[in-house]
Amino acid sequence: MNNETILRTFIDEVWNKKDTSRIGHFVDEAYTIHLDAGDAWDRKTLTLQEYTMRLQDSFIPFPDIHFAIESAVADADAVAITWIMTGTNLGNMGSVPPTGRAIKTSGVTIYHFNKGKLCGHTQVFDRTTVMKQLGFLL
């Protein structure tokens, strides 16, 4: 399986279907977030357990979070994707109660690979639109 296929399967099984039991199949034991401004885990290297906790930070407030991959470009040990994220805020975001509002935003993520496993990412996405859609910003 090539890296793009691995990534597409990972997004579908782990992010979209919420099968966290498959994380170790796709993610290296050390996963570095090189850049993800606004993410609490930005610029940290995570264990598999910490990576699972990071996913829960998204799954709890948005249990129906879904990523549609719009495009992908593979190069050596990296795959860049553009995506559209949708979801409904049905759970707490930290101490903030759910709004019940739907979100839709887009972004770009470059996933890094080590021997066929995801070992990190660099990401930019429109968090401001999400905050506006949730009613936190005008």
All domains of the chain, ordered by start, with CATH? 3-133 (3.10.450.50)
pLDDT tens for residues 20-75?
Answer: 999 999 999 999 999 999 899 999 999 999 999 999 999 999 999 999 999 999 99
Q: What is the pLDDT of residue 1?
A: 86
CA distance 13 to 3: 15
**pLDDT over 90 for what percent of the chain?**
96
Task: Determine how β-strand 102-114 pairs with β-strand 78-88.
Answer: antiparallel
Q: What is the pLDDT of residue 58?
A: 95
Q: What is the pLDDT of residue 75?
A: 95
Q: What is the pLDDT of residue 11?
A: 98
Cβ 90 vs Cβ 61: under 8 Å: yes
**Residue 95 pLDDT exceeds 90:** yes
Residue type, position 113, single letter: F
How high does pLDDT run on average in the chain?
97
The span from the first CA to the last CA of the chain, in angstroms, equals: 45
